Amino acid sequence: MRTRTGVLVGVGVLALAVAGGALWAFFRHPLAVHAFWSRRALKGAGFARVEVPAPPGPQVAFVAGSGPTLVLLHGAGDQAGTWSRVAPELARSRRVVLVDLAGHGDSAPSSGPLPIETLLSGLGAAMDAEAPAGKVTIGGNSLGAWLAVLWARAHPERVERVVLIDGGPLRHVAAGLTLQPRDRAEARKLVAALRDPGSLAVPDFLLEDMIRVAEHGPIARVIAGSGSAGRWTLDGRLGTLPFPVEILWGESDRLIPLSYAERMAAELPASRLTPLPRCGHVPSQECPALLTEKLEEVLKLPPPPRRATP
């Protein structure tokens, strides 16, 4: 009896230690914990993790479903799990491919700057492996939207349409904001610009983790490689894009405001703008149900037609 009691006590102590360690990890590294569970959620929803060779090193994607192919790309500093509350519903009627951009998630390289060239090289390898035949719809959020346009522009014969979610290929400077906050005040200001004012407040321990990750993580590496980014912007050239574009935009986004989306819509020869009320810069995280609903709606519609030219 005494031995059995000792075993139960030992198991209880071990359980408390594990729970304590998990709690410590959550408060110390909440972004990493969130990424871990979002990727677990993709696997739980039937997404298979695939790895493909690429010039920057192996690239990772999550794939599920059958039918027309939809490729979704996350923003800077994020990873494929950001779509975990959107992609499972989309995969009911199509083949969904979620890519870890180069240097993000589990995709190589694990160190060094991440210029647009490296990001496109990794994306190209993933597309050749997972969407080699037939036309695809490719879309993304923020940086992922920019890359989606650049890949589609280089491969128009492989594109059904492009979906831009709070991002695009035009120059933009968010005055007074930094993606690499150095203290809580800067981090809080950035978060306020990213989210709707009515969304839940972000706690201080998450702001602290943002500061830590921003210093050396993928965002810092993208910024370090941004010297050649200017040659990849398409200001004044959107009218030459031959594919239709869906634009879905969080109305509360103050990092890249709705006026940016309206400017793209005015320049693109075939586009449709769908505002997302009470959503900020990353709708897949802040308002996944609304984003899923609107994505389903626009993807069931015929692609936006080209405007008549005078």
**DSSP letters along 258-285, please?**
HHHHHHHHHH-SSEEEEEETT--S-HHH
Rounded average pLDDT over 268-293: 98
Q: What phi-psi label fits residue 176: left (phi over 0), alpha (psi between -120 and 50 degrees) or beta? A: left
pLDDT in the model for residue 28: 73
C-alpha pair distances (Å), 10 with each of 14, 90, 253: 6, 46, 51
pLDDT in the model for residue 26: 54
CB 72 within 8 A of CB 47: no
The domain limits of the chain are 27-300
pLDDT digits (tens, 9 = 90+) for 99-115: 999 999 999 999 999 99
CB 163 within 8 A of CB 243: no
- Report helix, strand or coil for 47: coil
Determine the residue type at 226.
S
- Residue 123 corresponds to which tokens in the numbers above? 């994306």
Residues composing the chain: 310
- Residue 174 corresponds to which tokens in the numbers above? 């968010």
Rounded average pLDDT over 27-38: 91
CATH number of 27-300: 3.40.50.1820
pLDDT digits (tens, 9 = 90+) for 138-166: 999 999 999 999 999 999 999 999 999 99
pTM higher than 0.85: yes
pLDDT digits (tens, 9 = 90+) for 211-255: 999 999 999 999 999 999 999 999 999 999 999 999 999 999 999
Q: Is 27's pLDDT higher than 90?
A: no
